[in-house]
A and B are shown apart, each in its own frame.
Chain A
Amino acid sequence: MEQVLLQTLNGLSLAGILILVALGLGITFGLLGVINLAHGELFMLGAYTVLVTQEATGNVWLGIAVAPIAVGTVGLLIERGVIKRLYERPFDTLLATWAISIVVRQGITLWQGGGFQPIAHPITGSVSILGLEYSRYRLVLLALGVAVLVLAGLLLYRTRLGLHARAAIQNREIAAAMGINVSRLDSIVFTLGAALAGLAGAAMGPLVTVSPAMGLPFLASSFFVVILGGTGSLIGVAAGAAIIGGGQALISFFANPVIAQVAVLLLAIVVIRIAPQGIFGARRIVA
């Protein structure tokens, strides 16, 4: 029983990170209809922001704070420069973002070298929860994931910007006709998604391998989270992340990691078969 508790906690900390990555992806995919294959690279840029900040100032926390701003700016440039011209051409967006991902990855390789990079561990060691040892940093990650989810919820359901965004999801043309500046909204939403990816990469940096290719596995699992939870739904993203992250951690503890990976993906297939819109997927009004 104790082990179940502990592994659930472990799973949730992974879910915390998946929430951060998937939320960014969910926002751009669900709200803008953009399948952003460069999302993993934005995640990677977050980690490299920490690396560069750490080299300059020796402070990891500062890096984690700067990352969403830096990566958000990159996101804004990508949206203004490329994606803006490609809305309503989803297949071209797919190709363009894929190309961007390669350019960014190789650019980082040229600039920082292709090798593994070190990020200092800002907090190490474990705390005792109900008599069981638990990594402190993972608890921070979990808290961060939840906090960002709550903030995103407030933004989407309690602000004017959120209202406009939801209106644009439901019907882009009508929203534009009602005087909402849809183009500006697109930029803001995409920038936010990029900033979240950057934050996730920065926070996850100390726990994974920082290298130009580090974003790829996270891109894949985030897509599963978004598809499983349903596009355009915050609760969906949270539920998807909890199922994928938590399920994987639990099964990999009680069976083994190889079975866990297979089982979780099988589960995703079954869920999508039963509920093609995802668990909490909003039925989109197709224009």
Chain B
Amino acid sequence: MDEGLRDLREEFRERLIPRREFIRRATLLGLSLSGAVAFLNACRDEQGGEPGEGEPITMGALVPLSGITEILGPPMQNNAMLAVEEINQAGGIQGRRIDLLVEDTASDPDTAVEKARKLIRQDQVDVIVGVLTSAERWAVALSATIPAKMIYINPTYYEGGICDRYFFNVGALPNQQIDPFVPWLVENKGVSTFYLGGSDYAWPRGSFAAVTAAVEAAGGQVVGEEYSPLGEADFSAPLRRMSAERPDVIYPLYAGADGVTFLNQLIDLGLQQETLIASSALSELTLPALPAEATVGWVASFEYFMNIDTPENQDFVQRYRQRFGADQTMDAIGEGMYTAVNLYAQGVEQAGSLDKEAVVDGMLAVQFEDPKGAIRIDQDTQAAYLNDYIAEISSDTSLAPEERFEIAETFEAIRPEQPCLEEPPA
């Protein structure tokens, strides 16, 4: 380019901001930056809580705070924080306080593995809780926690299959979330044909295998099954095929934001007027984004709803909102983090030490109350016995979205079942 012009510009700029002025500005900027950093550090220290006598326990939480599933991350982080703060305020575990280290997975398996390795090697944590998507979960388990023999507790409902002495699961497995749900739909809603549509990765594929089996066992029929890439903006082709098949039920399992995009385009076509929408992914975080009138009568199945009518849960929701704000909502995955933190704390309490083998045995032995019901761990799968709640969306559109999940049926303490897999289902 024009060297002459550039020189002229440089000279001009020099004249505009003399050197002394530049140094003054840079110093000011530096000072204000370090002030900001100090302020942020001060904020961070506040969450420490009461120090106990012993060495603190360090817990790593892997949470998606950015990327395609970022809106599901904050409730996960909040629940982990709430559980840790409550434990610390009650004097910690055997005099030890828990230090929580939160890492952002960026909704990405590679980043999740990198962060898990950092927690293991650099921070030398005692336990890892978290991750959202199955892609992240399989990557973290196979490439980070299992090789390092690190205790890892998964909070998210998923397709199942990870088996390891140090891997624990407090999210629903298909036999706890889908197996009760599908026959319930067939029986109570008089439906028989199902169309399944989901994002193209392990969780929808693995879950749809379970849905298909359950539909056939209940005497129904799956008339279509298809997958779209993550981050899809236009669902007209799948919706067109669904509308052509005229199924009784459309069962969507699209991840994160895709789930809302799909349902918005379905509502735009008016498919919900003749078809029942049932899903094991329609949560308190999805519903607020949809037009309220269109969602009346839709059905969802989860191990936790904010609307569960028990004193334990009402009290829990109140504590959560006192801590994070009166309008805050969470889904089953978020609440799963609360369970995961408490499972580890109970395990240490039971073991009486931080010895890893003793803590694992401790977690296998404990039983405790959780907002979603009593928690104990199955010896074979190392997953939690869970309740399954089936909720219908209320026709009362004046209610807050999370209050529209009317619990229609509760299946109590379902034993977890899963096959052990070497790699994620394809």
A residues bordering B, Cβ < 8 Å? 3, 6-7, 10, 13-14, 88, 114-118, 120-121, 124-126, 133, 135, 137-138, 206-211, 213-214, 216-218, 221, 245, 248-249, 252-253, 256-258, 260-261
Instruction: Pick 24 A–B contacts, CB within 8 A, sort by A.
Output: A7-B237, A14-B233, A14-B236, A88-B1, A115-B329, A116-B260, A116-B288, A117-B289, A118-B288, A118-B289, A126-B270, A135-B269, A137-B268, A207-B264, A207-B265, A208-B264, A211-B257, A221-B233, A248-B234, A252-B234, A252-B237, A256-B228, A257-B226, A258-B228
B residues bordering A, Cβ < 8 Å? 1, 66-68, 70-71, 74, 200, 226-229, 231-234, 236-238, 240-241, 243, 257-261, 264-265, 267-270, 285-286, 288-292, 294, 329
Q: A211–B68 Cα gap in the complex (Å)?
A: 10
Contact between A118 and B269 (Cβ–Cβ < 8 Å)? no
New A-B contacts (17) at CB < 8 Å, excluding given A115-B288, A135-B269, A207-B261: A10-B236, A14-B233, A14-B236, A115-B285, A121-B264, A121-B267, A135-B236, A207-B265, A209-B261, A210-B289, A213-B66, A221-B233, A253-B240, A257-B228, A257-B229, A257-B232, A257-B237
Chain A residues whose CB sits within 8 angstroms of the CB of B329 once the complex forms: 115
Chain A residues whose CB sits within 8 angstroms of the CB of B232 once the complex forms: 257
Q: Do A133 and B243 form a contact, CB below 8 Å, given A114-B71, A209-B264, A213-B70?
A: yes
Q: A260–B70 Cα gap in the complex (Å)?
A: 26
Nearest B residue to A132, CB-CB: B240
Q: A258–B291 Cα gap in the complex (Å)?
A: 28
- B70's contact among A14, A114, A252, by CB below 8 Å, is which? A114
Contact between B288 and A14 (Cβ–Cβ < 8 Å)? no
Contact between B286 and A116 (Cβ–Cβ < 8 Å)? yes
Contact between A10 and B228 (Cβ–Cβ < 8 Å)? no
Q: Which of A210, A217, A248 gathers the greatest number of chain B CB atoms within 10 Å?
A: A217
Chain B residues whose CB sits within 8 angstroms of the CB of A137 once the complex forms: 268
Q: Which of B71, B241, B294 gathers the greatest number of chain A CB atoms within 10 Å?
A: B71
Q: A223–B105 Cα gap in the complex (Å)?
A: 27
Distance in Å: Cβ of A204 to nearest Cβ of chain B: 8
In the complex, number of A-B residue pairs with CB atoms less than 8 Å apart: 119
Q: Which of B227, B228, B264 gathers the greatest number of chain A CB atoms within 10 Å?
A: B264
Q: Do A207 and B290 form a contact, CB below 8 Å, given A116-B71, A213-B68, A253-B241?
A: no
Q: A88–B1 Cα gap in the complex (Å)?
A: 9
Q: A211–B67 Cα gap in the complex (Å)?
A: 11
Contact between B264 and A214 (Cβ–Cβ < 8 Å)? no
Chain A residues whose CB sits within 8 angstroms of the CB of B269 once the complex forms: 125-126, 133, 135
Contact between A115 and B268 (Cβ–Cβ < 8 Å)? no
Contact between B264 and A10 (Cβ–Cβ < 8 Å)? no
Nearest A residue to B401, CB-CB: A118
Chain B residues whose CB sits within 8 angstroms of the CB of A261 once the complex forms: 229
Distance in Å: Cβ of B239 to nearest Cβ of chain A: 9
- A209's contact among B1, B234, B258, B268, by CB below 8 Å, is which? B258
Q: A169–B234 Cα gap in the complex (Å)?
A: 34
- B229's contact among A6, A117, A120, A258, by CB below 8 Å, is which? A258
Contact between B233 and A217 (Cβ–Cβ < 8 Å)? yes
Contact between A207 and B229 (Cβ–Cβ < 8 Å)? no
Chain B residues whose CB sits within 8 angstroms of the CB of A252 once the complex forms: 228, 234, 237-238
Chain A residues whose CB sits within 8 angstroms of the CB of B238 once the complex forms: 252, 257
Q: A93–B267 Cα gap in the complex (Å)?
A: 40
Q: A133–B274 Cα gap in the complex (Å)?
A: 14
Q: A116–B261 Cα gap in the complex (Å)?
A: 10
Nearest B residue to A261, CB-CB: B229
Q: A138–B68 Cα gap in the complex (Å)?
A: 25
- A116's contact among B234, B240, B270, B285, by CB below 8 Å, is which? B285
Q: A47–B233 Cα gap in the complex (Å)?
A: 15
Contact between B291 and A209 (Cβ–Cβ < 8 Å)? no
Q: A165–B229 Cα gap in the complex (Å)?
A: 39
Q: A217–B233 Cα gap in the complex (Å)?
A: 7
Contact between A116 and B289 (Cβ–Cβ < 8 Å)? yes
Chain B residues whose CB sits within 8 angstroms of the CB of A135 once the complex forms: 236, 268-269
Chain A residues whose CB sits within 8 angstroms of the CB of B68 once the complex forms: 213
Distance in Å: Cβ of A286 to nearest Cβ of chain B: 10
Chain B residues whose CB sits within 8 angstroms of the CB of A7 once the complex forms: 236-237, 240
Nearest A residue to B260, CB-CB: A209
Distance in Å: Cβ of A239 to nearest Cβ of chain B: 19
Chain B residues whose CB sits within 8 angstroms of the CB of A114 once the complex forms: 70-71, 74
Contact between A214 and B240 (Cβ–Cβ < 8 Å)? no
Distance in Å: Cβ of B51 to nearest Cβ of chain A: 32
Q: Which of A3, A217, A252 gathers the greatest number of chain B CB atoms within 10 Å?
A: A252
Q: Which 6 A-B pairs have the closest CB atoms?
A: A116-B289, A209-B260, A209-B257, A257-B228, A252-B237, A253-B237
Chain A residues whose CB sits within 8 angstroms of the CB of B236 once the complex forms: 7, 10, 13-14, 135, 138, 249
Chain B residues whose CB sits within 8 angstroms of the CB of A121 once the complex forms: 264, 267-268, 291, 294
Chain B residues whose CB sits within 8 angstroms of the CB of A117 once the complex forms: 288-289
Contact between A124 and B267 (Cβ–Cβ < 8 Å)? yes
Nearest B residue to A173, CB-CB: B2
Q: A252–B269 Cα gap in the complex (Å)?
A: 18
Chain A residues whose CB sits within 8 angstroms of the CB of B290 once the complex forms: 118
Chain A residues whose CB sits within 8 angstroms of the CB of B259 once the complex forms: 209
Q: A111–B264 Cα gap in the complex (Å)?
A: 24
Q: A135–B240 Cα gap in the complex (Å)?
A: 10
Contact between B285 and A256 (Cβ–Cβ < 8 Å)? no
Chain B residues whose CB sits within 8 angstroms of the CB of A115 once the complex forms: 71, 285, 288-289, 329
Distance in Å: Cβ of A7 to nearest Cβ of chain B: 7
Contact between B240 and A14 (Cβ–Cβ < 8 Å)? no
Distance in Å: Cβ of A134 to nearest Cβ of chain B: 9
Distance in Å: Cβ of B2 to nearest Cβ of chain A: 9
Q: A261–B233 Cα gap in the complex (Å)?
A: 11
Q: A135–B233 Cα gap in the complex (Å)?
A: 16
Nearest A residue to B327, CB-CB: A113
Chain A residues whose CB sits within 8 angstroms of the CB of B288 once the complex forms: 115-118
Q: Do A213 and B227 form a contact, CB below 8 Å, given A10-B240, A88-B1, A218-B233?
A: no
Q: A143–B261 Cα gap in the complex (Å)?
A: 21
Nearest A residue to B289, CB-CB: A116
Q: A118–B288 Cα gap in the complex (Å)?
A: 6
Distance in Å: Cβ of B231 to nearest Cβ of chain A: 5
Q: A33–B226 Cα gap in the complex (Å)?
A: 41
Nearest A residue to B1, CB-CB: A88
Contact between B258 and A207 (Cβ–Cβ < 8 Å)? no
Q: A245–B237 Cα gap in the complex (Å)?
A: 12
Q: A114–B231 Cα gap in the complex (Å)?
A: 17
